[in-house]
Structure 1
């Protein structure tokens, strides 16, 4: 990556259990020529969180302050839990005024989904579901796949992803791309923080959830009317599933087959996104076109903020 970027760290959820990973990540960003701000957030501890609720909300609300110089990238430290505690405290009007139309990328996933969807619902602000500081930038050996896809999403006005994953259903649909962590999305159903997306393309992922729990959450999205308003459901990575004798053949594949009989939209599988080392970066709130065929699928996205193409230093 040749251009120097300003990366501002936020800790909206948990604190990092591996401080060495944080130090590796910050060192790598600086060696690559990027400026790293708010490093102090990585050292905060309050119970199981990366600081008090007030401190963590201020990480984000600071972006609404005209006196605060905007960074290029706002990067979440890690996931875990805690973002939902901040939703009532965010300055949505101020963030909308300050960030609308600005080339600022807010990046994270997992628990950060709550903030991403709240910003989309309350302020109309897009963001990026992508790698986080500790797990990905701080990995002992960072994934070249993840880093390549991250910088591609940051630096270009359009993004096209193609995957040779066989599909049981075909699709050719367009709409707003949105989604993230499934359990977090479901926790927002019935609140003002879940975007009312009509004709969207919803992507989901989760970790350490058994197939029956995943199915139950998808039923919640179906029965609450969320899926009825979408044009496609795209399944990402569901890591941490364990096989039990009691399941008697009911695995992730069986669950997906059943879900296809329940929802009335195409279900696309194999999106490399979630709690995994190799993941893509997706613009939440961008305009997408999804084409799925028996031999694979293509996802093209536009109309999202990308970084300026000149050096910011």
Structure 2
């Protein structure tokens, strides 16, 4: 169904997401779950509540029209349903992931929102309507790559980094040939100061993508690897004290591999006097890209 089957508009004091695609998501769940006394179309996802909109109207004054206009341009391609939450005989809803909506809310100083489609005639705004409210046991095995990717981003936006790390790791296990999981894993690991895991995951990302068609991602990973190296971790698969435990056992087969010559070439001039590219901190690396450290020190751990 086309993206223009969704419209974001001001309705009855709030800003919501409406359209045939939202109705189809709701009707499918209502039919499958046999929900009595369900609402009828049109269904909606609330982007900004009445109370929030009143506060924004007071804060933004004459700029409120810009908010309405900007809201209509939010990306609606990636709205994902995770299933039924709540009690079908009472208050129930569909758990929704829509990261573009939360990114928009953040720009206006609003908190992370658990997006949902209310199905029942009555509602309770105090209830948790996140993934934890799903009636069926949540299984990542039923999700495709893009849905898991947006689930990881959703946990990042809500500052639930432990959960984000769990699902990013699952992405890498289930889809080892996609760069998406490795890039998510790398960013989360760097935030958690797991610099060795982050460096290896960024390198894995660079290995999987075509540099010519993904120049921005390549450059992003390159800069992040330099950042990891500046935080006292060694290059490539050379591990310092307690670093080996950063890497989950099931990911070692994809991370404990030699870097390609293409990736190495990005870093080979870092220590060159002719072409200094990296302002190094006080930490002196035991491995200069990319001489086999075992030639000079037999006590280094390399995998």
Relative to the length of structure 2, the TM-score reads 0.30
Point out the structure with the larger helix share.
2
Structure with higher Rg: it is 2
Higher relative contact order (CA 8 A, sep 6+): 1
Task: Give the alignment's TM-score, normalised by structure 1.
Answer: 0.29
The structure in which a higher percent of residues are strand is 1
